[in-house]
Chain A
């Protein structure tokens, strides 16, 4: 059973069309939840860290929120340069200190 599930797998939006990406997790003792952006063939680029339910963080057109079971990445008025794969990862208490990633959401913003 996957510990981190991201949905949708792929999403195509028109420029300016706002939407949300979902990350649900089933780990116990969550120590942190991370969002990364990854462009093809490159390493993940850090976006946000969330530590506790109710926490929110914003950066430009992106806003991340966290509940006890899931996190959302809200994208407001996206631009074509926001096209990328967005990865969610959890850091579990008592684990091997590695991050557990979801499979990502492939986002395409059409002009």
Chain B
């Protein structure tokens, strides 16, 4: 079975630009969560969606937004990029509120 997939793999943007990251969950999973991981740190929770509704939000500014589609795939949008947004962005899927399985991540570099 296919695991969690994310696109693109790598992305380079400049300050002030906007970026959209995409995630497809494991088949049968209805919940998607997004995390940001900077080098040397553990992942930090950004959002969780379940059945297309936002279930939770971490301590991130309003520049970060997300949505979930009827097929349970998800997008993470970041506006007005800052240098500090450079990180590995991880998507995780789960059946509801149990074990989360992570995708390979999208490496975002902001110049």
Give A residues with C-beta under 8 Å from B.
4, 31-32, 34, 36, 41-46, 49, 87, 89, 91, 95-104
Contacts and interface: CB of A to CB of B under 8 A. Distances in A.
A46 B57 contact: no
A42 B99 contact: no
A23 B58 CA distance: 22
A62 to B, nearest CB: 16
A49 B100 CA distance: 10
Nearest to A104: B42
Contacts of A32: 98-99
Interface stretch (B11-19, B64-72, B74-82, B102-110): B102-110
B19 to A, nearest CB: 18
Contacts of B33: 97-99
A101 B42 contact: yes
B42 A103 contact: yes
Among A31, A44, A49, A98, which residue has the most Cβ atoms of chain B within 10 A?
Answer: A98
Chain B, interface size category, equals 20 to 34
20 contacts: A32-B98, A32-B99, A34-B99, A41-B88, A42-B105, A43-B102, A44-B102, A46-B101, A49-B99, A87-B42, A89-B42, A91-B97, A96-B57, A97-B33, A98-B45, A98-B56, A98-B58, A101-B43, A101-B44, A103-B41
Nearest to B100: A99
6 smallest CB-CB distances across A and B, nearest first, come from: A98-B45, A96-B56, A101-B42, A43-B102, A97-B56, A44-B102
Interface in B27-78: 33, 35, 40-48, 55-58
B21 interface: no
Contact of A46 (B40, B47, B99): B99
Nearest to A34: B99
Among B46, B97, B100, which residue has the most Cβ atoms of chain A within 10 A?
Answer: B100
Given A49-B98, A103-B42, A104-B42, A97 B104 contact: no
Given A91-B97, A98-B35, A103-B41, 12 more contacts: A34-B100, A36-B102, A43-B4, A45-B102, A46-B102, A49-B99, A96-B56, A98-B56, A99-B35, A99-B43, A101-B43, A103-B42
